[in-house]
Structure 1
């Protein structure tokens, strides 16, 4: 019996392992004998077949039908793989090639991808439909009791992905719809990264795929890596609509915990996802009382530790009595809030009677929330306002017999060092990835130094532009009129349109450079909250960029105004000057691409 007959026999019984093993063995044996990259017993030119497959030309294959299952590229792509990935993919070619050699239907390449994997990945909906139709024509596999079509749908590649995994990852909604409806009873398992199709869809915000999986699949699995679920992913990404869709079908996921003991509400609270937090609490308030694995922190603690006051208010409104819960160090929500919130936020928090009463509560070391405030913030009148607002006791002492007033005066303390360490802590296996406490000291000192150096450099550039544009305004191109009269001392070129453009551009450069200087000045003020500092740091460089662009335009228009009698020279100067925008856009593109 020849090799093709053996392959066809394997296909008729849907024995995928036999097909893959046979193809690999024949490929290796032939490559050894002929020292070539493709199997070609008849010594025909393999490039002819591959080129024909890429162009959708079926004619060369009709005369060499016995070679089709054995012709592969160095990475084991068959002629069917080649056609599906080419720009000239052809439904007619796919149908005819499988009519000639049915074994290609389940033959995999070096990555373990079947033609269905490739078609799903490359968004070829019609090819997916044809492959499924032809697979259905195969006989039912006797042992498993499933047909070749479902066997093909359930095959996984080297990454553990089925064709549905690939379709979801590449956001091909039409293919997802087809695959799900063809095998609605199959529970798609996780791939090698621990991701199920539903988890992937939730993570990337693929709402139509989430809907199809939940509505059509009778048992859609929801697992993700590190014990997370699709609801964790939706909450982490702040997808409110997806969160609702998942909860409609799988409400029990609200209590599912990951390897760190986090529920989806923990994720939403930690990352500041207020809209999702509200949805989760609407469906199940009890999750607000669940503590995590390592520090026994509830979602309320996490929201306070990251400075998310809106989420603090939201959780308190749904579950008022969870305010008194403490973590494994005895810290309540106000301890965390004192370490992260600014004056305005803390004063607004004092308006909540339940939280205000926590000001006298002590942790396991005897520290009240005011001790925490004193450890992380130098004393000032604004701090006194907070103390008065909470009606706290500055003479309250901890177990080291240190009161709040003394702690305000200390430049270094054990509590301050503890809080600084908490701002860096990431847990045993990656929990609290942004640190337990998200306050200013939580940013690494190296990063702060880099920001300070960058700020100084930007300030120099902004000040230089302001100086140059200021000087240019009083040394106008073309000079001034010297004749006696009411126009004496005015610009000679004042009626020239290029000169007028120069004046406007120079003014814009001056204004935006001064805005940048002012922003960097504000950033240097003491007690500026970190959020405001970072916001200004993001905005101020754009002021400098606008000022630089306006300065270039001022140079070009001013030069053109004085050189317009020599038109060729004026145009050449303008073209050379404006090339800076091309170079700036290129540099900007490289920067964005690196991000």
Structure 2
């Protein structure tokens, strides 16, 4: 293509094309060397959103109507390009031109010409609707569906994707609704046996609308044997999965009993494996009989929950009498759920074993729950680690067969980070001990220098505020030194039993925090003792010091709220 003609087409300048002798012939032959784009393709691609002009295209199509259907090397007609670019005004024009140019365009089907142009596919077997959905243009999708044949199937492209599937996979609610309402027989298929409902379940969007039109999709399984309910349970989040799971179960409860092909895992197992407590409760409340189903290893819902839930949520789950009845159920290797829990939680599970479990329950290797808590169980721990990294034969478990709570919360933090954290705690505790020790021998108000039995004693020894200063300063020093001692103790080799190690770290942290609080009180009482004659200044100083506790209150409130939301 002549560069001047290319620039003219990109700029929308019609004059150079009017000067050609036989426009109805030569305009079709003016194409780019590689993509074989016509001047119509070039003009559409060059337009900017919000600044679209259709004047050039209108005049060109009057000069050469056949350009409306001429495709480039990728099989894209001008309508495909307009849909890819999201130019709704141009899409509207091209469809209108197809309708008005019925005599000039050779269409053999006998259907409406605008329907025919909408059915054209490119080399990827995409219609303009496929491209519009990929682009994410609601306006273009609306035009294409309302102007098209309502009985057109909108079949899959070369990748097995239909427009409805693409919209659901991207979470485009409005597009899904638009396609379902305008296209009465819209296809729903996707690659690998998936349907639009599978993707909607993953995205937690459009599920209700798809179920209204295509209720039968609840039972459709993909190549891995996963129903939409499997996907909702596996991928769901605490905020969204209950609604999605509930909608699917309300439509068809029988899907709760379907196991996948690889491991015979039901949706309940999926929810438990990923720690989705809300989904677990929703499935059990709707289909109580499925609670006792097992996978191919003999694991039930409680085996999975022991891995993915923390102690607090496990306790909530065990309040259910149905779940509690599974506490002594053994898998193929004889492991009860508490064997699994002991391998992950170790000492943190003790109070749950006391209340719900059996310390002495043994597996096929004669290993008890208590043995695992005390000494660990490398064989079971290795199996759990492998499951957390196993993504399946076809990558159907991208987050692992199970979500190991221990790995996500403990192993994700490197040993180097742990050392740095402990070092910073030790520095703070040591600093508090040093400051409070020095303060004890630098009394507020000074010492009595007069000779006699009281020489060298504190001048403010009888002052109540001073006495409070001495007591709180001593408490702060004692607490901080205790924290320093614990950190020193933990530095010895051999102190690596997880429960003891973590418990001592928590104790040291609390000691340091309380030491900080008493040190602030010591500062407040000490300054008050010295500034008592200037009462206003003394009160102001005390008020400023107390701001520390206000800050602590807000920080702790944020932390507790965050933990509550996680639960």
**TM-score with structure 2 length normalisation?**
0.69
Give, in whole Å, the separation in 1 of the partners of 2:409 and 2:31. 53
Count of residue pairs the alignment pairs up: 424
Give, in whole Å, the separation in 2 of the partners of 1:341 and 1:201. 33
1:71 aligns with 2:27: no
Measured after TM superposition, the shift of residue 377 of structure 1 is 2.8
Name 2:208's counterpart in structure 1: 244
1:32-47 mapped onto 2 (5 Å cutoff)? 38=1, 46-47=2-3
Measured after TM superposition, the shift of residue 147 of structure 1 is 4.8
Cα gap change, 1:243 to 1:525, in 2 (>3 Å): farther
Contact 2:201/2:229 (<8 A) preserved: yes
Aligned to 1:101, which of 64, 71, 74? Answer: 64
1:376 aligns with 2:335: no
Aligned to 2:45, which of 82, 85, 88? Answer: 85
1:3-82 mapped onto 2 (5 Å cutoff)? 38=1, 46-64=2-20, 65=23, 66-74=25-33, 75-82=35-42
Give, in whole Å, the separation in 2 of the partners of 1:338 and 1:86. 58
Aligned to 2:140, which of 153, 175, 196? Answer: 175
Name 1:433's counterpart in structure 2: 398
Name 1:202's counterpart in structure 2: 168
Question: Where does the alignment leave 5 or more consecutive residues of structure 2 unmatched?
Answer: 431-486, 488-495, 503-567
Deviation string, structure 1 residues 3-54 (Cα, Å, up to 9, x no partner) = xxxxxxxxxxxxxxxxxxxxxxxxxxxxxxxxxxx3xxxxxxx222222212
Contact 2:345/2:406 (<8 A) preserved: no
Cα gap change, 1:399 to 1:175, in 2 (>3 Å): same
1:309-328 mapped onto 2 (5 Å cutoff)? 309-328=277-296
Measured after TM superposition, the shift of residue 526 of structure 1 is 6.0
Give, in whole Å, the separation in 1 of the partners of 2:107 and 2:37. 29
Deviation string, structure 1 residues 279-317 (Cα, Å, up to 9, x no partner) = 212222221111111100111111111111111111111
SS in 2 for 1:135: helix
Measured after TM superposition, the shift of residue 455 of structure 1 is 6.7
Contact 1:423/1:443 (<8 A) preserved: no
Name 2:491's counterpart in structure 1: none
Name 1:330's counterpart in structure 2: 298
Name 1:405's counterpart in structure 2: 370
Aligned to 1:138, which of 91, 94, 102? Answer: 102
1:213 aligns with 2:176: no
Aligned to 1:122, which of 85, 104, 113? Answer: 85
Contact 1:424/1:442 (<8 A) preserved: no
Larger radius of gyration between Structure 1 and Structure 2: 2
Name 2:124's counterpart in structure 1: 159
Give, in whole Å, the separation in 1 of the partners of 2:427 and 2:370. 46
Alpha carbon RMSD of aligned pairs, Å?
Answer: 3.1
Cα gap change, 1:209 to 1:326, in 2 (>3 Å): same
1:275-354 mapped onto 2 (5 Å cutoff)? 275-354=243-322
Question: Where does the alignment leave 5 or more consecutive residues of structure 1 unmatched?
Answer: 1-37, 39-45, 468-520, 531-595
Cα gap change, 1:269 to 1:208, in 2 (>3 Å): same
Aligned to 1:233, which of 199, 206, 211? Answer: 199
Give, in whole Å, the separation in 2 of the partners of 1:47 and 1:142. 33
Give, in whole Å, the separation in 2 of the partners of 1:243 and 1:453. 45
Deviation string, structure 1 residues 411-441 (Cα, Å, up to 9, x no partner) = 3432222111111111111111111110145
Contact 1:305/1:337 (<8 A) preserved: yes
1:171-570 mapped onto 2 (5 Å cutoff)? 171-181=136-146, 182-239=148-205, 242-272=206-236, 273-378=241-346, 380=347, 382-390=348-356, 392-440=357-405, 442=407, 448=412, 451-453=414-416
